[in-house]
Amino acid sequence: MLKVGQQAPDFDLEDESGNRVRLADFRGASAVVLMFYPADNTPGCTKQLCAARDDYDRYQAAGIAVFGVNPGSAGAHKRFIDRHGLRTPLLLDRGGTVARAYDALMPIPLLTVINRTVVGIDRDGVIRFYERGIPTTGQIMEALGASPVA
């Protein structure tokens, strides 16, 4: 399992619109939060990504880029975004390669099932927050050195 204080694994993924997102592009410029979630439009995932939507301006004001990550398709991600008015880009992790690098897969042989995991990465590419489940925006922001107050 990855630990706070370790260098975050690099990644290069596309979002639901085909835009490339690389961790290296944020170094020195912005902190990054990766929200690994099991599936689009399920109750827990909807709750998690809608919370990120509701707090999007807080993240932006603190210089934190937030992304949802799962192996779903671009079409499924677009429908999820449209249905819930999400503002967070959703990254396509085909085959769970990035989830595997971030220890965010459930140990189920031959299946790619995401273990809900949130990772906060500072501007230097160091993991400052790593937690399973649905932590609050305040917890994430505080770990990244940003004011957790609304």
Beta bridge partners of 66: 33
Residue pair 49/68 in contact by the 8 Å Cβ criterion? yes
Helices (DSSP H) in the chain: which residue ranges? 43-54, 56-61, 74-84, 97-101, 137-143
DSSP 10: P
Catalytic residue among 33, 45, 52, 119: 45
Residue pair 81/49 in contact by the 8 Å Cβ criterion? no
Residues found in the chain: 150
Structure-token pair, residue 111: 């299946």
45 is catalytic: yes
State the catalytic residues: 45
